[in-house]
Amino acid sequence: MASILLLIVVFVVNLIAFALAIAAEQRRSTAKVVPDSEQNYDYCVYDSDIATGLGVGSFLFLLASQAIIMIASKCFCCGRGLKPGGSRALAIILFIICWVTFLIAEACLLAGSVRNAYHTKYRTILPVGEPPSCQTLRKGVFGAGAAFIFFTAIVSEFYYVSYSKAKDSGSLPPYGRDTGVGMGTYN
């Protein structure tokens, strides 16, 4: 039977990661053009980079959630074999989908955090009269990360339940039984 406590902990950690990603999307850096004191140059000034911290926090919470699920299920590849059947097949499919959505979510969060931090740390100096193009993080990068966090949360919960069901339905016997043909000596 799947551990209810583990499912609740993973749900809460994923919920925190989702909330941080949404907050990062809302607090993306913006830029405004400011002339220098001598009116020779215009340059872009970016506001605070709180979205970078929120994105990194979301990244870490999602990473922790995935680690908890994989440790609890022994990453599906370690430990005793599972009995063949529908639950095992579903667990394999959900395991693959879980990792794909996890990697996409982490890539969105990491890329968004890096791009947001880059634009808040540097100023672009432009000659006067040239239209400024203050680059900022595209809208929706952290939002995409939040969407994939949501998908990862759902799939990882179903994966763990399927894995637990397959595990509880009877494992294959340990290495004690020989299922092959014995190769005794023939005289």
- List, for residues 30-77, the tens digit of each pLDDT value: 777 776 677 666 677 777 778 889 999 999 999 999 999 999 888 777
The three-state (H, E, C) secondary structure of the chain, written as one string: CCCHHHHHHHHHHHHHHHHHHHHHHHCCCCEEEEECCCCCEEEEEECCCHHHHHHHHHHHHHHHHHHHHHHHCHHHCCCCCECCCHHHHHHHHHHHHHHHHHHHHHHHHHHHHHHHHHHHHCCCEEECCCCCCCCCCCCCHHHHHHHHHHHHHHHHHHHHHHHHHHHHCCECCCCCCCCCCCCCCCC
User: What is the per-residue pLDDT for 166?
Assistant: 84
User: What is the per-residue pLDDT for 61?
Assistant: 97
Residue 99 clears pLDDT 60, i.e. is over it: yes
User: What is the per-residue pLDDT for 48?
Assistant: 72
| Average pLDDT in the chain | 81
User: What is the per-residue pLDDT for 171?
Assistant: 47
User: What is the per-residue pLDDT for 32?
Assistant: 72
pTM value is 0.76
The letter for the amino acid at 142 is: F
